[in-house]
Every structure is written in C-alpha cells, then in structure tokens.
Structure 1
Amino acid sequence: MKLELELELRLLDPDAWGALLSHPLLDLHALSPVPMDAVYFDTADGALNSAGIAYRVRREGERWIANVQGVGTSAGGLHQRPEWTVVVKEDKPSPQVFAGTEAGAMLFAAVGENILLPLLETHFQRFERELRWEDGSGILIAADRGEIRAGDARAPILELGLKLLHGHPGALLELGSILARDLPLLPDPQSRIHRGLALAGLIADNQGGPSLACPLRHRDVAGDALVRLLVTQCQRALGDLSRHLAEPMDAACFHDLRKDVRALRSFLRLAEPLDPQKHLGPWRQKLALWFHAQGPRRDRDVLAIRWAEVCAMLGEQSSLLQSYLAGGAARGTDTETPFLGSLLLGLWAALSRHGLAGDVGLQKFTEHRCARWDAAIQRARKKEDDPAALHALRIRVKNLRYALAALAPLWPSQDSKALLKTLTTLQDILGEIHDTDAAAATLHDTIVSRKSRLAYEAGILIGWLHAGRARHIWEFRKTWERFLAAPRPWG
C-alpha cells in the first residue's frame, strides 16, 4: 500500500492540448503515448461506492493492473488516498488477488457474496514522464486524453495529473500554479470515478464535494491555525471557481466566488503580523487586482436585480435596460478568471512552504487583532455625504465580519452572534449606499445614449436608487448605534 498525493488539473480548452504537451516544464510532445483502457467495477447496489472504495482493472501498454483506492481526502484538486496495485492476467474482477492485504479486507467487507459488475470504462492515451523539481522533489507527470464511457453516455478526458513521488507537497502546488498561469488548466476537485458515476446517473453531478470545515480552538498556536484557515479558504475558492466556470453567467456562482476571494483577503490581512518576511504579501496584492477587476461585473449584476424590482412595480415585462445590463455582464466576463486558479495554487504553495511565524496562542492573537480592527472601524466613521469615506468604512466592516465569522468558535461562552449579525446588517446597508453612489458611473453610457428609451429607463433606476438613499442613511445610523452597543466577545 502507498499513500498517493496527486494534483489533478483539467484542461478547459481542447485546442490547447498541443500547447500543454509542448510546455517547457512538461516537455511531453516527443514521447510516444501509452494506450490505457480501464474497467471500473461495483456491485449492483453500489456497495463499493457507498464504502468510498474504487476498484478497477486497467490495461497499461501490454499488461493488466488491478487497482484499489481507499477512502482519502480531496480538496482544491489535491487528492490524497491509499492505493494498492497488483499485476493480473486479464480485465476480469478478481478481488482474491488482494487477499491478505488491507485492500482485500475492505473489498470483501463491502462486497460480501455479491457479484462485481462492470460499472464504467475509460479509454485514453497517456503521455508520462518524471520531473525533478527545483527543490529536488520528484513528480510524475501524466497527461491523459480520451473519454469516459457509461453505457451510451460519453465524457471527455483532458487532464494533467501531477503525482508526488518524493519530496515536499509544495512542489506539486508550485508546478500547478505555473502551469495554470500559462495554460487553461483548472484544479479538478472531482476524481475520474466521481465523473463516471455522475455520467452514469448513479450520483448527482454536484454530489461528493469535500467538507471544508476548519475547526479552530482557543489553545491552538495562531500561526498553525491561521495556515489551516487560509488553506481551507483557498480550497473553497477553487471549488467555487470550478462551479463559476461551469455556469459563467450565473450571478449567484459569480457572487459566491467573489465572496470567497474577499474572505481570503481578509484572513490574509488578519495574519499579516505573523508573516514578517512578507511571503504572502504578493499573493494578497494579486488577489486584490483580480477582485477589483470584477467590480464592473458585480455592479451590473446588482443593478440588474434592482431594475427587475422596479420593473415588477411598474408592470414592465422587458426593457432595453435589462438587455443592456445582461449584455454588459456578458461583455464584462473576465477572460483572466480561469487563471485565478493559478493565484490560489500559488498562495497555497507559499503557505505550505513558509507557514506563519510565532508561537503566540490563537485566542490572544485574534482578540488583539479584532480589537484593533474594531477601534479602526469606530474611528473611520465620517460624514455620511462622503461616498469614498462610507466605502472605506464598508471595507473595514467586511474585514472584521469575515474574521469574526471564522473565529466565532473561539468564544463559546461569550456569544459573538449579536456583533456578527450587526456587522452583517451594517455591511449590507453600506453596500446599498455604495450601489446608489456608483450607479451613475456604471450607467454613464446609457445616460448619454442616443436611444432615448434606454436613457429614460436608466434615469428611472438612478432616481429610484437615490430616493432610497435617505432611508438607507437612517438605517445606517440606527444600526451603528447597535454596533457600538453590541458586546465584544474579546472583552
């Protein structure tokens, strides 16, 4: 048995296959591919799948190899699982070849007296070689092109696997980050067997996502705990990036991705004192650039929602402005978004390599940081007719809100829910005010448009938003008083 650690990357553009093989770090184009054909087996009632076990027999060149994969972990495209392999004579299932091993015990316990049946097949060509990374780590590179077959259903295989043979796990992430920067590659959180089961209709396509909880305890060392929190947030963002790219015009998926990146930036700012060598600073700056580049798309999505509310009140079924905002969202889809995966992998690699310094306790460190942020928020409140000041206040509120939501388990005896609820409300109200203040700039082209109807509708929307600003300011004042009065769990 060996414990496999592999980063799996999906090629988003089939036309980039040649570029992938020719990439100087991979250098696969001159190799002869090895044909591989595999059959995956399970019982009629899916006993192996229910137990988290994958059993296949695969032809690799001139030989057949039986393989069992046990229960492992999968997050952000990095898969870790125990694996057993045995050379066999044919492609028929024969669990007996694993007798006397842990794999055999798992198979017999799950299968019992039931018959193993072919579940799905994979047919692909593999380009494979070993790479020695700059730190001496050994990585097995495997580029696969082919298809998954489940009955009459087909799904393409266009994947690059990076398996750690020996050395530091950060080597996989660093190589993956560089490749995802240069090529349309995305970390794939779903295993091939998962994709096959979804293709066969045996599981939901979105089933099987990893649990990304990050338990925190007040006795934890701050550096170690915040590394876990940051890695978990990177993995969460990679998962939502995959969902966003599957549905690029879905505003909810896009919003979830932006929230992930915003929370990640907040956690990085929280941990900044524990990074004296500034290893993480460049990654935070790159994430900020990506985040701000998505602002116009986010603003149009919000205005589309607000205009739909106005249309509902006016009894309008369709309008030029609706089409304009929808078209603007399509035009504004950032072509760099797929390569956000490169940034997230790079940050993950930096966390893996360098960690965070210091041995201060988590509770002491975070209480000090949250108290400072709290005081900065109270100092930041300025005139309510200053949009820039209110926007800066909103950013400070966001930082504390995201940190408090993640750190709430540290104060089980002192409830942080009241403060968190107030911060959430405060952020929402400040967001409404910001949307109003930014509406004229977002809709500038419609205001000066030669299409009088479009300019008319834009004017209605801007007027409706500004009419509500006074109410939002009143709500802000009331919520601000609740914020000041809310108990602080850090005492």
Structure 2
Amino acid sequence: MPTSLNLLWQGRPTRAEPGPVLKCLAPLTRRYELSAGPRRVHTSAYLDTVDWRLRRRGLVLSHEGDALILDGNAAPRTEKPASRTSWPARIEHLAPGPVRDGVAEAMWIRAVAPKVRTRTVTSEVAVLNEDGKTVARIEWTEATGVEPAKTEPLTRVTVRPLRGYAGDAERVARVLLRTEGFAPADGSLYEDLLHATGLSESAAKPVITPGMPADVAVATALLGFADAIRDNLQGTIDDVDTEFLHDLRVAVRRTRSLLKICGDLLPPRLAQRYAPRFKSVGDLTTPTRDLDVYLLELDDLARSITVGEPGDLDPFGEHLREELARERRALVRGLRSKGFTRMLDGWRDALREVIENGDSPVTARQLAAERIGQVAKRVDRKARAITPESPAEHVHELRKRCKELRYVLEVFKPLCPPETFRAVLKDLKRLQDVLGAFQDGEVQSDKLRVYAKDMLESKHRPPAATLLAMGELLARFVRQQHESRHELTGALEQFLGPKTHARIEELLA
C-alpha cells in the first residue's frame, strides 16, 4: 500500500457535503465507524518555476490558506506555515524547514509562482476500528480552477493510512473502488487542473525541415529567439530571478550569431539594420548580468577565504548590490522604452513576412551543410593558430567562434543525425569549458580590480580585511586563468584530432 491512494470521483460534484460523502462510504459501516469532520472552503495556489522544475521532479508545492504543502512521488507530504504570501518567491524567501529543504535543489536559483489558482472545498472522514482507534483518513477534495482559466469542479478522494494500519486503509480503498462512481486516478488533481486549463500542453515550436526554403528556415529560427526574448522580458524587468535575464541574453546572442552567419538569406539590408540594434541590447544587459553572476557566487567565494573570515567580504557584497541597483535601473529603462518595444515588434513582423513569403531555391538542408562547414573551418583555423605564446585576445576570438559554431549547430539540430550531433556537441563543449574558464578568470580579475578601485575612491572606504580578502580572490582568478591556459593545449589537441574531424564531416554529409 503506498503512503496514500488517490481515487477519482466520477459522480456529480458534492461540494464535499458530509451527507453525500458518508452515503458513498456506507459499505464501510459494517466494520468501521465513520466520523465526518467539518467542511472547509479555501483558495489554493499550485506553485512552480517558469520552467516547471518542481513538476519535472515529481514535486507538488501548494499554498493553501496559511500553509505551504509539499507532496508528490519524490517527497513525503509535509506542511509548513507560510511566512510568504506574495509571489513569485525565491528559495531564500521561504521559511526554513522541511518544505524549503524539499524544494531547494529542484528550485535552484529560480523563483516559484502560482501556475494554477483554485477554489477548493474539502472535508475529511476519519475511519475508526472497533477499538475506537483512527486507522485511516479519507480526504474529499473538490477543486474548481479560477486562474489562469475557469474549470468545472474536479474531485479527488485520498485514502491516507495511519502508521501501522496499512491493511485497514487498503481494505477501505478496495471497498470504495467497488462503489459506483469511484475509479483509480490516473493522474493527480494538480495534473488534471493543468490539463483543464490548457497548461499541460506546451505550445508547439516551429520546426525546421530539410526541404524548407533556406530563408524561411533562418527566419523561423530567428523568430524562435525573438519569442524567447519576449517571454523573458517581463520576468527580467520584474527581477523575478536572475535566469530570466540570462535566458534573454542567450536569445540575443543567438540572434546576433545567426544574423552574422546566415543574415544574407534575409531580405536586403534587414540583417544590417537589426544587427547593431541587437548589439545595443547585448551591451545594455551585460553590466547587470555580470553583477548577478558575482553576487550568485559571492557566498561560495566568501566561504573559500583562507586568510580572514567570510564576513570580511560583506562590504564588497554591499558595493556590488549598490552597483546592481544602479545598473538595473538603467536596464529596466531600456527594456521598457518605446524604442526597444518598436524594435522587437518590427523585427517579429519582418520575420513573419519572410516565413510567409520566403522562396529561396536553396533548401534548409543545403544551407545547414554549407554554413556549419564554413563556421567549423573558421574554428579549426583559429584553433590551429593558438600556441602557448598566443595573446589572450586570440584565445577570446577562438571562444567567440566556438560559440558561433555551437549556435549554428543548435539551429540546424533537427537536420542532423542525432548521435553524430551529440558527439560533435560534446567535443565542442569540452573545448568551450576550458575557454570559458580562461575568459572568466580574466574578466573577473579585471572587474575585481575596478571594484576595489571604486570602493577606495568612495565615501565609505573598505576595511583592510575586505581589501585583503578581495586580493585573495584576485589571486584565485589569475590562477584560474593560468591553469585554464595550461589545459587549453590538451583540449585543442583533442578537438583538432581525427575523431572530431570525422564527426563533423559525417555531420555535413
């Protein structure tokens, strides 16, 4: 017998009135006493991150009245009085306790917010044995979706055994299943609510097909990136969590790369007109993202300090937060501006027109082979030119070309042999990891010098302990850059070897 058994009530809604509920349970009265509790009406909100991280782990988090309830296949049912009643909320906004511990890993740095709101009516029937001991509880739950759409009432009946009485609860469940109107529930009430409101079906994204005209394929991919920018815009403006800005920036970078690689397939001057505009968006978002990353890592960096105490970096953290607040104001102004809105709307309209009227004689498959080959050759040429004595600028240029190769591979993924695609991407990612560590070491060490200088020139000069701790971080970033540079030689040898070359050739065949 599982921890609980969920049943579906197929009869008319009862609004959990005790009379109809007890009538359904009449067959049990020959052996058990039934004690009906009060009927309760409350609102519920089922919470998840924007990318459904809890649902993917089999977790169901709900806010009911003054409690947070965690349930699901991967977690025992736990309840905690809610200290937070406004949403969205990141993990640090949830009260410490079993619910927070149960969702922390799944939530990561993302925020939870209501996916579905319901008006819920519940009642409970205690099942007592001949000794008057409660052996099971039967929960009758009737939920009506309120947001994002109204639904018909959905009813679930849950049999929960008490410790040591699993056999009695199983007997109760069997009796109920023999009663007309009951059936095993295939899914949870939450899943049925998602289905009833249309949230369980994700919107189908346009797919690039081999025979599609090349200009239509490029516009389709670019429109997908524009959709990602739009979908992450409000979350970025509202500062729901840092991943909204990250995902928006990734979509902007992919747009810029594809315009560079395949922009000639679009109508004349369209790419030239929009490429600098998307560069401006990238420049606008960079300072805030850099500060987000620093603050996300600051606690771990503080704990790693070997000379001094983690608290020595508190003034540095305060400086970063002040800088972030200033940069976020500039970011929000830019993203809310009429110019940005007109740019994005005009870009989407132009892409839709290409999708409707595109007629390139070149197919998407032909374009994929040609452009993947061109970018792969540029990467190969840059990679072979790197030596231990090459300046950092050349390493950074190789990193940019590798990003372009990864983006163009991802665009044309539907046209590539799956196994070969995965192998090439894995080979490329190994090299990118080393290049990224080198870049991070240099960028973070350079920025740390700037932050230290700004703090020294401010009205509130930092304590000596803070500067010493920042110096230790600076040494670490420089060491990371040197170590990554040393690892780069081996990573390049592996990437430029015959296996990766053969896989890319197979990809283009």
Q: Give the TM-score taking structure 1 as reference length.
A: 0.55
Deviating more after overlay: 306-315 vs 217-226:
306-315
* Contact in 1 for aligned 2:445/2:477 (Cα 8 Å): no
| Structure-2 residue corresponding to 1:329 | 324
Q: 1:431 aligns with which of 420, 430, 436?
A: 436
CA distance in structure 1 between the partners assigned to 2:13 and 2:348 by the alignment = 40
CA distance in structure 1 between the partners assigned to 2:347 and 2:201 by the alignment = 22
| Structure-1 residue corresponding to 2:224 | 232
1:468 partner SS: helix
CA distance in structure 2 between the partners assigned to 1:312 and 1:220 by the alignment = 53
CA distance in structure 2 between the partners assigned to 1:416 and 1:423 by the alignment = 11
1:216 partner SS: coil
- 2:343 aligned with 1:343: yes
Structure 1, unmatched stretches of 5+, are 1-42, 46-148, 152-192
Q: Which structure is higher in helix share?
A: 2
CA distance in structure 1 between the partners assigned to 2:387 and 2:298 by the alignment = 28
| Structure-2 residue corresponding to 1:361 | 363
Q: Which amino acid aligns with 2:260?
A: R
1:220 partner SS: coil
CA distance in structure 1 between the partners assigned to 2:198 and 2:232 by the alignment = 12
- 2:506 aligned with 1:476: no
| Structure-1 residue corresponding to 2:236 | 244
CA distance in structure 2 between the partners assigned to 1:268 and 1:466 by the alignment = 34
Q: How far did residue 357 of structure 1 move?
A: 5.8
- What is the number of equivalent residue pairs in this alignment? 305
| Structure-2 residue corresponding to 1:376 | 378
Cα displacement string for residues 267-296 of structure 1 (whole angstroms, at most 9, x for unaligned residues)? 222322213512232112101111022222
Cα displacement string for residues 90-119 of structure 1 (whole angstroms, at most 9, x for unaligned residues)? xxxxxxxxxxxxxxxxxxxxxxxxxxxxxx
CA distance in structure 1 between the partners assigned to 2:430 and 2:354 by the alignment = 37
CA distance in structure 1 between the partners assigned to 2:258 and 2:315 by the alignment = 41
Q: Which amino acid aligns with 2:247?
A: D
CA distance in structure 2 between the partners assigned to 1:375 and 1:282 by the alignment = 27
Q: How far did residue 446 of structure 1 move?
A: 3.1
Q: How far did residue 438 of structure 1 move?
A: 1.9
CA distance in structure 1 between the partners assigned to 2:359 and 2:271 by the alignment = 12
* Contact in 2 for aligned 1:241/1:341 (Cα 8 Å): no
| Structure-2 residue corresponding to 1:393 | 398
Q: 1:285 aligns with which of 276, 293, 314?
A: 276
Q: How far did residue 367 of structure 1 move?
A: 1.0
Q: Which amino acid aligns with 1:316?
A: P
Q: Which amino acid aligns with 1:267?
A: L
* Contact in 1 for aligned 2:439/2:481 (Cα 8 Å): no
Q: Which amino acid aligns with 1:398?
A: K
* Contact in 1 for aligned 2:438/2:482 (Cα 8 Å): no
Q: Give the TM-score taking structure 2 as reference length.
A: 0.53
| Aligned 1:84-483 pairs, distance under 5 A | 195=148, 207=199, 210-211=202-203, 213-247=205-239, 250-275=241-266, 277-314=268-305, 316=310, 319-333=314-328, 334-335=331-332, 336-339=334-337, 340-354=340-354, 358-381=360-383, 382-383=386-387, 386-412=391-417, 415-448=420-453, 449=456, 450-451=461-462, 452-483=464-495
1:271 partner SS: helix
CA distance in structure 2 between the partners assigned to 1:324 and 1:465 by the alignment = 19
CA distance in structure 2 between the partners assigned to 1:475 and 1:306 by the alignment = 23
Q: Which amino acid aligns with 1:363?
A: R
Decide whether aligned partners of structure 1 residues 456 and 212 sit closer, same or farther in structure 2, where only a CA change above 3 A counts. farther
Q: Which structure is higher in strand share?
A: 1
Q: Aligned-residue CA RMSD in angstroms? A: 3.4
Decide whether aligned partners of structure 1 residues 413 and 444 sit closer, same or farther in structure 2, where only a CA change above 3 A counts. closer
2:508 partner SS: coil
Q: How far did residue 252 of structure 1 move?
A: 2.0
* Contact in 2 for aligned 1:240/1:253 (Cα 8 Å): yes
* Contact in 2 for aligned 1:299/1:435 (Cα 8 Å): no
> What percent of counterpart residues are identical?
21
Decide whether aligned partners of structure 1 residues 325 and 238 sit closer, same or farther in structure 2, where only a CA change above 3 A counts. same
* Contact in 2 for aligned 1:429/1:476 (Cα 8 Å): yes
Q: How far did residue 348 of structure 1 move?
A: 1.0
Show structure 1 runs of 4+ deviating over 4 A. 193-198, 200-210, 354-357
Q: How far did residue 210 of structure 1 move?
A: 4.8
* Contact in 1 for aligned 2:440/2:481 (Cα 8 Å): no
* Contact in 1 for aligned 2:445/2:478 (Cα 8 Å): no
Decide whether aligned partners of structure 1 residues 320 and 357 sit closer, same or farther in structure 2, where only a CA change above 3 A counts. farther
Q: How far did residue 239 of structure 1 move?
A: 0.6
Q: How far did residue 238 of structure 1 move?
A: 0.8
Q: Which amino acid aligns with 2:508?
A: W
Cα displacement string for residues 331-356 of structure 1 (whole angstroms, at most 9, x for unaligned residues)? 21113123444432221111223455
CA distance in structure 2 between the partners assigned to 1:400 and 1:206 by the alignment = 37
Structure 2, unmatched stretches of 5+, are 1-11, 15-116, 120-145, 154-189
Bigger-Rg structure (1/2): 2
Q: How far did residue 386 of structure 1 move?
A: 2.2
CA distance in structure 2 between the partners assigned to 1:481 and 1:272 by the alignment = 32
